[in-house]
């Protein structure tokens, strides 16, 4: 920048200052007393006060503006020239900070104020007054430098950093902030309301955060910004900056771009809500949809239909044809369900071979019945895999909102209860929930809970019911039956936990405890020299599921050194007509080879064919209590009992009658040729010490408390 152009300044001054004006001596005297550097235009020249004269080291006080203005620093002079020129044209005062050289050649900072003044009547002069602001300016410059350095530092950050006043005005924003909020590198003018830069939907949260920060507390909120199609997400942290008195002077807001994280989260959400295999919603998403459907039904006063679907024997498809076949079946069915149902229906896969369907906005229950029919139809057209038809049956449990339950959990439970009820009673088709089912399901749950509790607290103990020869009541064996004492020391029976015998884990655990206790009782008796009779133990059908029943039992016998011929296993006749019979036969064969006896329990109530009896590794038939109980009243029943009693010897099987309660029954059994019996007439199941006593006696007494007519 050049120094003030003297010629141009000359020209300027001669034009701007009226030549005819003069200053009084009094006025000059007053000017000389002031510490400011003052210059007043005067005729065609100007008057400088003593302070100015001495500062620049002039010889005289009569100086033209150009004479002393050449002492202004070259960097400030150009601009000063321009505004001095403009001011005189438009008569407007101005202020300018500039450096003026003193007589030692040193530049100090002054605030120059130039204004037109009426000094004497009708005289208008220009007065330029310069106040020394050197110290203050230097400090400010240093501060500005520091601020600039900080600003540069802030610009390096990828986070958007803003300094906001407690009332929400933007004081400063770094480069990243400017780019994100304004799409430009710099803000032209600070002081704008920060909230106006945010998208309307997050302004309320922003305002709240500022309020919190202004009160001196940290605040945080999730924000977003949009530029064209690009949406960015921000995590905004507002930290108040306090002065020494603890007042919030400004708020530092750091906004971190969490867009990538959000996108990743959104992707994760999709994968966490949809099933990979079928593309249907999973259980989680299903629950959310059901919740939304309930709100909608409440608003619109409509009903919701709910279906739980289970594929019958799906495990078999996986086991026999492999998992790819199972997967194929699930995929095809999913597609068919989605295609065939009304678009308002929500189909989802809850896991494994379980599907669920929500039928929202129903006006009558009939709609659910119709949808169920549609669903069942999807299974009719053949589904093939590797040239094989792999269709499986379908069972559907249904519930209706709000009739059956009023919330997500309850409704799902009702549909599940209906499905379980259907599965237990034979599978296939659909079943609508009713409250009786629920009571039944509750009862089952209670039984399972009780079973868990008695297992955990080791309350189970074996009781022994004698088996006798019917002709002389001689003890021929015991059936071990499970008992436990409740908290009131009342003896409890298996009926109150019968559901546990259908649960693999619980039934196996109960058996393990029973075996361990029976075998240790037997070992104890043996050690005392008691003459032992064979003891039979009951096995539930589910215990054969893992195909290791025989191995486990043999291990336990060996551990307690119990001779195999002293143990008999009782299985119900039903087991031989159920799935997995091959496991049962393998186990029984193995046990029989080991030397154990096998009894077919509850005989006559199942469907085992007489001819097949030969093929099973069975030693004994136990005629069911129901026959014995009615044999005296019904001739046909008496004939059945007789038939079984005669069949035994033909097939080389022993026959024993269960549930003998009366002498009349005893006599009838003797009449039809039944050799052995068991029942309350002889004894209930008795505890270990009573059993020991009986083994010492070897003979059971017939109960004398029975009514005489029945003896
Ligand atoms: P179950 O195997 O048919 O056992 C015979 C049941 O008939 C026993 O009932 C016995 O107390 C009862 N009983 C015996 N004589 C008479 C009689 O003269 N009249 C009547 N009304 N009943 C008689 P309990 O002990 O209540 O057992 C019921 C069922 O629980 C058993 O039927 C058996 O299936 C099962 N069970 C019992 N203990 C065990 C066990 O340790 N393991 C397994 N898996 N099942 C067991
Ligand atoms: Ca039994
Ligand atoms: Ca029985």
- List 654's β-bridge partners, or say none: 620
DSSP 255: E
- List 489's β-bridge partners, or say none: none
Phi, psi of 583 (to 5 degrees): -65, -40
Confidence of residue 644 (pLDDT cuts 50, 70, 90): very high
Q: How far is the CA of 47 from the centre of ligand 1 (A)?
A: 131
pLDDT for residue 17 is more than 60? no
Task: Give yes or no: residues 619 and 695 share one domain.
Answer: yes
Last residue of a domain, one of 263, 289, 316: 263
Residue 709, domain member (yes or no) = no
What whole-number distance in Å separates Cα of residue 535 and Cα of residue 527?
17
Q: What pLDDT score does 706 carry?
A: 47
Query: What is the CATH classification number for the domain harbouring 71?
Result: 3.30.450.20
Q: Which atom of ligand 1 is nearest to the CA of 463?
A: 25
Q: What pLDDT score does 702 carry?
A: 85
Please write the tens of the pLDDT for every residue from 24-82.
Answer: 888 888 889 888 999 988 777 889 999 999 999 999 999 998 889 999 999 899 989 89
Confirm or reject: Cβ of 679 under 6 Å from ligand 1. yes
**Which stretch, 17-26, 236-245, 413-422, has highest mean pLDDT?**
413-422
Range list of H helices, 529-573: 549-560
Average of pLDDT values for 675-688?
Answer: 96
pLDDT for residue 402 is more than 50? yes
Q: What pLDDT score does 4 carry?
A: 35
Confirm or reject: Cβ of 668 under 6 Å from ligand 1. no
pTM above 0.75, yes or no: no
Residue 351, domain member (yes or no) = yes
Task: Give yes or no: residues 57 and 189 share one domain.
Answer: no
Residue 698, domain member (yes or no) = yes
pLDDT for residue 206 is more than 60? yes
Confirm or reject: Cβ of 504 under 6 Å from ligand 1. no
Q: How far is the CA of 427 from the centre of ligand 3 (A)?
A: 27
Confirm or reject: Cβ of 46 under 6 Å from ligand 1. no
Residue 700, domain member (yes or no) = yes
Confirm or reject: Cβ of 311 under 6 Å from ligand 1. no
What whole-number distance in Å separates Cα of residue 209 and Cα of residue 60?
65
Last residue of a domain, one of 240, 263, 286: 263
Neighbours of ion ligand 3 (CB under 5 A): 601-602, 658
Pocket test for ligand 1, best of 447, 468, 481, 706 (most atoms within 8 A of CB): 481
What whole-number distance in Å separates Cα of residue 665 and Cα of residue 670?
8
| CA-closest residue to ligand 1 atom 23 | 659
Task: Give yes or no: residues 228 and 122 share one domain.
Answer: no
What whole-number distance in Å separates Cα of residue 538 and Cα of residue 534?
13
Please write the tens of the pLDDT for every residue from 328-355.
Answer: 999 999 999 999 998 899 999 998 999 9
Confirm or reject: Cβ of 499 under 6 Å from ligand 1. no
Task: Give yes or no: residues 638 and 489 share one domain.
Answer: yes
pLDDT for residue 110 is more than 50? yes
Domain span at residue 672 reads 447-704
Buried b (16+ CB within 10 A) or exposed e, 351-369: eebbbbbbbbbbeeeebbe
Task: Give yes or no: residues 544 and 630 share one domain.
Answer: yes
Confirm or reject: Cβ of 514 under 6 Å from ligand 1. yes
Confidence of residue 242 (pLDDT cuts 50, 70, 90): confident
Token pair in block for residue 20: 């005819």
Q: What pLDDT score does 685 carry?
A: 97
| CA-closest residue to ligand 1 atom 43 | 538
Residue 710, domain member (yes or no) = no
Task: Give yes or no: residues 482 and 618 share one domain.
Answer: yes
Q: What pLDDT score does 156 carry?
A: 73
Least confident interval from 489-498, 525-534, 573-582 = 573-582
Task: Give yes or no: residues 290 and 315 share one domain.
Answer: yes
Q: What pLDDT score does 704 carry?
A: 53
Residue 440, domain member (yes or no) = no
Confirm or reject: Cβ of 500 under 6 Å from ligand 1. no
| CA-closest residue to ligand 1 atom 30 | 494
Please write the tens of the pLDDT for every residue from 297-329.
Answer: 999 999 999 999 999 888 888 888 889 999 999
Between these two residues, 443 and 242, which has the higher pLDDT value? 443
Confirm or reject: Cβ of 623 under 6 Å from ligand 1. no
Average of pLDDT values for 267-292?
Answer: 88
pLDDT for residue 703 is more than 90? no
Q: How far is the CA of 392 from the centre of ligand 2 (A)?
A: 35
Judged on CB neighbours under 10 Å (0-12, 13-18, 19+), 25 is exposed
Q: How far is the CA of 608 from the centre of ligand 2 (A)?
A: 17
Helix (H) or strand (E) holding 37: strand 37-42
Token pair in block for residue 158: 């990828």
Most distant CA pair in the chain: distance in Å?
A: 162
The percentage of residues in the chain with a pLDDT greater than 70, rounded to a whole number, is: 92
Residue 475, domain member (yes or no) = yes
Task: Give yes or no: residues 7 and 129 share one domain.
Answer: yes
Confirm or reject: Cβ of 404 under 6 Å from ligand 1. no
Average pLDDT, the chain: 88
Confidence of residue 20 (pLDDT cuts 50, 70, 90): very low
Task: Give the distance, in angstroms, between the CA of residue 234 and the centroid of all CA atoms in the same chain.
Answer: 24
Average of pLDDT values for 89-111?
Answer: 91
Least confident interval from 134-138, 365-369, 624-628 = 134-138
Last residue of a domain, one of 81, 104, 134: 134
Task: Give yes or no: residues 536 and 399 share one domain.
Answer: no
- Residue 311 contacts residue 394 (beta carbons within 8 Å): yes
Q: What pLDDT score does 311 carry?
A: 92
Query: What is the CATH classification number for the domain harbouring 481?
Result: 3.20.20.450
Average of pLDDT values for 458-484?
Answer: 97
Pocket test for ligand 1, best of 455, 494, 605 (most atoms within 8 A of CB): 494
Task: Give yes or no: residues 200 and 123 share one domain.
Answer: no
| CA-closest residue to ligand 1 atom 12 | 659
What whole-number distance in Å separates Cα of residue 375 and Cα of residue 389?
19
CA atoms within 13 A on the CB side of 703: 18
The percentage of residues in the chain with a pLDDT greater than 90, rounded to a whole number, is: 56
Least confident interval from 2-6, 14-18, 168-172, 434-438 = 2-6
Which SS3 state, helix, strand or coil, does residue 62 take?
A: strand
Residue 318, domain member (yes or no) = yes
Closest to 464 (Cα-Cα) out of 695, 628, 703: 695
pLDDT for residue 708 is more than 60? no
Q: Roughly how many angstroms between the first and final C-alpha of the chain, as a whole number?
A: 137
Pocket test for ligand 1, best of 538, 556, 605, 682 (most atoms within 8 A of CB): 538
**What is the domain count for the chain?**
4
Task: Give yes or no: residues 189 and 61 share one domain.
Answer: no
Token pair in block for residue 24: 């009084």
Confirm or reject: Cβ of 497 under 6 Å from ligand 1. no
Task: Give yes or no: residues 100 and 152 share one domain.
Answer: no
Q: What pLDDT score does 455 carry?
A: 97
């Amino acid at each position: 920048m050049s120094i003030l152009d003297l010629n141009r300044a000359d020209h300027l001054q001669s034009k701007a200052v009226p030549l005819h004006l003069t200053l009084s001596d009094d006025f000059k005297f007053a000017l000389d007393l002031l510490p400011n550097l003052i210059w007043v235009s005067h005729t065609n020249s100007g008057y400088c006060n003593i302070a100015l004269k001495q500062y620049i080291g002039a010889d005289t006080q009569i100086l033209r503006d150009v004479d002393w203005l050449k002492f202004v620093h070259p960097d400030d002079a150009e601009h000063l020239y321009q505004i001095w020129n403009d001011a005189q044209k438009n008569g407007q005062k101005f202020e300018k900070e500039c450096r003026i050289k003193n007589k030692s050649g040193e530049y100090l900072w002054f605030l120059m104020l130039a204004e037109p003044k009426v000094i004497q009547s009708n005289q208008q002069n220009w007065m330029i007054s310069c106040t020394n602001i050197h110290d203050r300016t230097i400090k400010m410059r240093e501060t500005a430098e520091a601020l600039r350095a900080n600003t540069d530092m802030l610009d390096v950050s990828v986070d958007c950093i803003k300094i906001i006043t407690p009332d929400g005005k933007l004081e400063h924003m770094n480069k990243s902030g400017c780019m994100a909020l304004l799409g430009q590198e710099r803000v032209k003018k600070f002081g704008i309301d920060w909230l106006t830069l945010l998208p309307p939907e997050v302004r309320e949260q922003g305002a709240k955060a500022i309020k919190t920060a202004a009160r001196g507390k940290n605040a945080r909120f999730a924000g977003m910004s949009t530029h064209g199609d690009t949406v960015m997400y921000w995590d905004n942290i507002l930290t108040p900056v306090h002065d020494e008195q603890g007042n919030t002077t400004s708020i530092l807001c750091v906004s971190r771009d969490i867009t990538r994280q959000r996108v990743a989260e959104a992707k994760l959400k999709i994968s966490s809500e949809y099933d990979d295999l079928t593309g249907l919603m999973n259980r989680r998403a299903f629950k959310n949809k059901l919740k939304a459907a309930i709100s909608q039904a409440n608003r619109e006063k409509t009903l919701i239909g709910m279906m739980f679907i289970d594929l019958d024997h799906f495990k078999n498809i996986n086991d026999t044809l492999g998992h790819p076949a199972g997967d194929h079946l699930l995929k095809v069915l999913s597609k068919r369900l989605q295609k065939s149902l009304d678009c308002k229906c929500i189909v989802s896969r809850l896991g494994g071979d379980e599907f669920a369907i929500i039928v929202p906005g129903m006006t009558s229950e009939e709609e659910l019945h119709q949808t169920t029919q549609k669903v069942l139809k999807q299974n009719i057209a053949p589904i093939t895999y590797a040239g094989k038809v792999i269709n499986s049956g379908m069972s559907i449990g249904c519930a209706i909102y709000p009739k059956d339950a009023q919330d997500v959990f309850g409704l799902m439970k009702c549909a599940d209860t209906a499905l379980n009820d259907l599965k237990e009673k034979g599978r296939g088709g659909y079943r609508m929930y009713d409250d009786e089912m629920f009571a039944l399901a509750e009862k089952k749950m209670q039984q399972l809970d009780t079973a868990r509790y008695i297992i955990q607290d080791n309350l189970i103990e074996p009781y022994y019911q004698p088996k006798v020869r019917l002709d002389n009541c001689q003890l021929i064996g015991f059936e071990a039956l499970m008992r436990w004492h409740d908290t009131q020391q009342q003896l409890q029976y298996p009926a109150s936990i019968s559901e546990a015998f259908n649960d693999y884990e619980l039934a196996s655990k109960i058996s393990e405890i029973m075996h361990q206790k029976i075998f240790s009782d037997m070992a104890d008796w043996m050690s005392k020299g008691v003459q032992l009779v064979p003891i039979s133990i009951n096995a539930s059908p589910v215990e054969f599921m893992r195909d290791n029943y025989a191995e486990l039992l043999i291990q336990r016998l060996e551990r307690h050194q119990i001779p195999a011929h002293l143990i008999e296993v009782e299985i119900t006749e039903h087991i031989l007509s159920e799935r997995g019979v091959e496991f049962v036969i393998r186990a029984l064969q193995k046990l029989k080879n080991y030397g154990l006896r096998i009894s077919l329990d509850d005989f006559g109530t199942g469907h085992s064919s007489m001819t097949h009896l030969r093929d099973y590794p069975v030693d004994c038939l136990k005629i069911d209590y129901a026959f014995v109980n009615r044999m005296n009243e019904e001739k046909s029943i008496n004939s059945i009992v007789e038939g079984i009693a005669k069949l035994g010897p033909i097939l080389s099987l022993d026959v024993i009658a269960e549930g003998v309660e009366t002498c009349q029954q005893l006599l009838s059994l003797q009449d039809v040729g039944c050799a052995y019996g068991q029942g309350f007439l002889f004894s209930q199941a008795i505890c270990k010490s009573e059993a020991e006593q009986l083994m010492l006696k070897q003979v059971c007494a017939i109960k004398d408390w029975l009514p005489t007519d029945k003896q």
